Chain A
């Protein structure tokens, strides 16, 4: 199903100089392969075309079920040089969650249970799972 990334993931963003980072975290274990397939560096670059003037790098963190994106040349020079309202890219995470992706129904259902507070989400197969 075609849904917004925010249905299956949460995210957080921050800055380092003129580069913004966006970490995208799957709500359940099964969401991670979907993220890997759907949320490519190229798609993030196109989605942020009005903000990101440099390249986008992607790093994989399977242990955390997360992807990390670096958006270069995206903060108007960064730090106090920048004239941008969001000079530290703090809101980029929320924006990224609007990206539309294809998600298998089962994964979506499992994620919706987490959002609804019925299941606790991501870590499985370890001693800490309480879902």
Chain B
């Protein structure tokens, strides 16, 4: 089929906070793109950022993003690339301030317009919302939020494309949001460029599929692929690029001079990643039907997607809430052949006996034998001959003291435990706070009335 008409290219540059730093630079510098989408947020990221902000009011966003833009700014201007990102985390304003401050020392040739989106954070008005009758019940358990209200760390609504469209309408070069959905960072750009109507469900759904392909970085372009994984150049992978047309059809591709791979297999693998009911992929702007996707491998790292159907958006938005749920720690020791698994099992019994003697109680103690089926839950038939097995034991409790005490019971097994043990070089396990996730729904109006976009120019 002929590919005609205007194309808009949205490149994926980051799939999570901590992704490969070179990827966004390569996306901008190795070929033409119109937009760079940078996704920094996972379910738990917001609570980590909220904790950082509590310690330091000028923190709470992805600092990596600021460093990246300061390095890339001259290229962005020269090549006319705009950025959509949720790097703002729980503090988009501070993210913008750091960027504006840093840009004072960068010669970009012209002023950059930076937009921020505010209002997805519900923490400060949580009690007002509860008082108004928004119960924010847990979608999985049905419990009302009031049961854990005093332990809530962060609460953010997943917001859609509307504020992104507003920001792009103000000719922003860079749009920084908080909890925008990962997919909106891609379809927001497409809806803006092609002027898709807010009720053009099929095109928006196609944009959602494009966003889903982009949101995990290299995962759609050869990262994690199981088909011929040895043959994929992953040293310098090209991350995916969506090359979209006004009718909502698009081609997934990558820059030709970079590694990675885009085939029916790599794209389909990403399509099914984190999939729920494929007919009901719910976003703030539409419900996409992933079972309607039609895919054609054009060769040369080009995969065409068409036929995507969507349905009307729902009247509620998803809210991501994180709350304190106790403490945990995980310790490891390695046991060597012969009978490595039996030695590790014996060490587990000894350790559990000592924890009993101490009278410590935990919400959970979990033992896994790494090398003997920890990932699969299936102990191999040749277990007796395993060259080594790692004992991995973790505990979780409401009180920090019990967990703290547990961390001091690993090292004694080195001398007062079963033989052939090693692997304690890292020292005592670290006690970590457990942050639990509370998914809820809220009437969209309660969130959208407070969404606002700010635009500033960097000097």
CB proximity of B15 to chain A, nearest CB, Å = 12
A79 at the interface (CB under 8 A from B): yes
Q: Which residues of B contact A (CB under 8 A)?
A: 1, 43-44, 140, 224-228, 231, 263-265, 268-279, 290-299, 303-304, 307, 325, 328, 330, 364, 366, 368, 370, 374-378, 392, 394-396, 432, 434-437, 439
Q: Contact partner of A98 among B278, B374, B376, B436, CB < 8 A?
A: B376
Closest A residue, CB atoms, query B300: A130
A3 at the interface (CB under 8 A from B): no
Task: Judge whether B1 and A81 touch: CB under 8 Å.
Answer: no
Q: Which of A14-48 contact B (CB under 8 A)?
A: 14-18, 21, 23-25, 27, 48
CB neighbours of A97 from chain B (8 A):
226
Q: Which 7 pairs from chain A and chain B are nearest by CB?
A: A23-B272, A128-B296, A50-B377, A83-B394, A14-B274, A83-B366, A51-B377
CB neighbours of B291 from chain A (8 A):
59-64
Task: Judge whether A130 and B377 touch: CB under 8 Å.
Answer: no
User: What would 15 A/B residue contacts be, using CB atoms closer than 8 Å?
Assistant: A17-B439, A23-B272, A27-B227, A61-B278, A63-B291, A63-B307, A64-B272, A68-B275, A70-B276, A83-B396, A86-B375, A114-B227, A120-B299, A122-B268, A123-B264
Q: Contact partner of A81 among B272, B325, B395, CB < 8 A?
A: B325
CB neighbours of B269 from chain A (8 A):
10-12, 23, 25
Q: Which of A80-131 contact B (CB under 8 A)?
A: 80-81, 83-86, 91, 93-95, 97-98, 114-115, 117, 120-123, 126-130
A-B contact count (CB 8 A): 170
In the complex, what distance in Å separates the CA atom of A60 from the CA atom of B268? 14
Q: Which of A57-83 contact B (CB under 8 A)?
A: 59-66, 68, 70, 76-81, 83
In the complex, what distance in Å separates the CA atom of A27 from the CA atom of B364? 41
CB neighbours of A93 from chain B (8 A):
226
CB proximity of B394 to chain A, nearest CB, Å = 4
In the complex, what distance in Å separates the CA atom of A123 from the CA atom of B267? 12
